[in-house]
Homo-oligomer: A and B are copies of this chain.
Amino acid sequence: MQKRIITIGRECGSGGHTIGKRVAERLGIGFYDKEIVELVAAKTKLSEDFIAAHGEYFRSGAFGHIIGYGGRFTAPMQTQSSIQDQMHFVQTTLIRELAEQESCVIVGRCADHILRERQDCLNVFIHSDMSYKVERSVREHGLEEEEAAGILAKRDRARSQHYSFYTSQTWGLARNYHLTLHSGFLGEDACVDLICAAWEK
């Protein structure tokens, strides 16, 4: 089988993680979402909590330096770039390495943009209406119904800002993806089917 990559950008609560995991299972390929946090942690000595908080969400004032990473990132380490910049650099390198190594699904972390020059990469974005995302987040992640919409919107703003900052592109613009899907309207099963079908083409 020819090596191929699927990247999945997703709104919070849209089910993008679950859809991506099911796609990877059906195709029998690797799956990287939180797993990237572990890989970055192993290479940078930063805590997983810190990486999860900064690796995909824009936070102002995240200044400082990463120490180490095997000396491979000497140049950017010597500049006055923020921890967020350095984390993005480490994540970028990791995502490029993963795409070189194996067929896999990579969720979030600007992977669509990082791998945009590859011809073997299908870029997907999953979104939905707020009522579906709230219902799902209450059911799956135990969010309080009254607070859920606010929490999800705030997370998406931070994701959107992070994406714009590191790609100079608009998050969720159809043009940046090969396939975008409204999970609430189509349903999770259909999203899995459609991504697998697009991947086979």
Identify the A interface with B (CB < 8 A): 122, 125, 127, 170, 172-175, 177-182, 185-187, 189-190, 193-194, 197-198, 201
Contacts and interface: CB of A to CB of B under 8 A. Distances in A.
How many chain copies does the complex carry?
2
A178 to B, nearest CB: 4
A170 B201 CA distance: 29
Given A177-B180, A180-B177, A201 B172 contact: no
Contacts of A122: 185
A186 B174 contact: no
A156 to B, nearest CB: 10
Given A186-B201, A201-B190, A175 B178 contact: no
Contacts of A194: 179, 194, 197-198
A186 B173 CA distance: 17
A190 B197 CA distance: 9
A24 to B, nearest CB: 20
Given A186-B198, A193-B197, 16 more contacts: A122-B185, A125-B174, A172-B173, A172-B175, A173-B173, A174-B174, A174-B180, A177-B180, A178-B181, A178-B186, A179-B182, A180-B180, A186-B201, A190-B197, A193-B201, A197-B197
